[in-house]
Amino acid sequence: MRKLIFSLLAIFLAGVMPSWAQNRVVVIMVDGFRWQELYHGADSTLINNPEFGNVEMMKAKFWRASADERREALMPFTWSHILNSGVMIGNRDKGCAMSVTNHMWFSYPGYNETLCGYADDVNITSNDAVDNPNKTVFEIANNTRQYKGKVLVFGSWGRFIQIFNEKRSGLEVNANYRHSLAKEPTERELYVNKLQDYTPRYWEEERFDVFTHEFALEAMKTRHPELMFVGYGDTDEWAHAGNYRLYLEAANDVDSFIRELWEQAQSDPFYKDKTTFIITCDHGRGSTTATDWRDHYYKVPNSNQTWLMAFGKGIPAKGELTAGEYHNNQVAATIAALLGIDFTPSHEGAGKKIEF
């Protein structure tokens, strides 16, 4: 009887846990960013090819004598902070691999697998604007007492509206060229709205990452989401365009964005020492020819290869892992475990949480 009472009490307390005591999680996805650049920096065969951008400009900013120096030049926050305070997965040259389990190897299937916890090669077979029949861990969290109304989604790509199934889930998804969705936008949000409107739309369904980042950063400051998704997309777009210089610049920007979000979290008592960052990608890119880095799908070898970084609350300082095989279908369960919510997809391909 005593055990039963304590069990019921624990369940009750979990349901009414005060906001200040809950974990906060920030999930960042970098569309189509290769593990090769993350772990080795700029690729010598690509940075020296004038077909892919101004060689002099690329080399001045991103070329260094060693791979370690090159990766630090490309992503300084990653290699000064995350390496020393968190876990980094997916450096295949050191014996640690990560990949998607879906058989498509492009964006919508990759996001579905990562955010829902399993691949769906029956229903998710294109990047078309079709509402996701599967529930993301964000939707599940938003349907709990602890996190109801405390979940926000920001993304550059318009398809996030369907991936998170805004209609069914009730999640607030600020993606594509949407303005701030805050009921009372701040001066900063109104200014970002204006800048976004005044900036030429280079892509039809995807805005530049800087706008996505500014909306997410301001939301952290003023609305304090406890679970937040930020999806950056410039890396994938510039790679498809064959512009290696801007692909590198976009990755360098993302590193700065991550730093700004982390510094904001650590400067705010609401987030300080209570927040975990999970950073990954939806797919890889080709790496076997001089040109297939621009593409990714099941016919492009190695574009199923991904990576993951985690740091903050609950993450040990292990640095680069040198063994193990991981998959994107483990990310959703990992997020749920950090939040302390029940997440038990019935799908047979569902992944188990990552044991950091």
Whether 248 and 62 have beta carbons less than 8 Å apart is answered as: yes
pTM for the model stands at 0.94
The whole-number pLDDT of residue 53 equals 98
Q: Which residues of the chain have pLDDT under 50?
A: 3-17
The whole-number pLDDT of residue 19 equals 52
The whole-number pLDDT of residue 8 equals 45
The whole-number pLDDT of residue 346 equals 86
> For 23-339, which CATH superfamily applies?
Alkaline Phosphatase, subunit A (3.40.720.10)
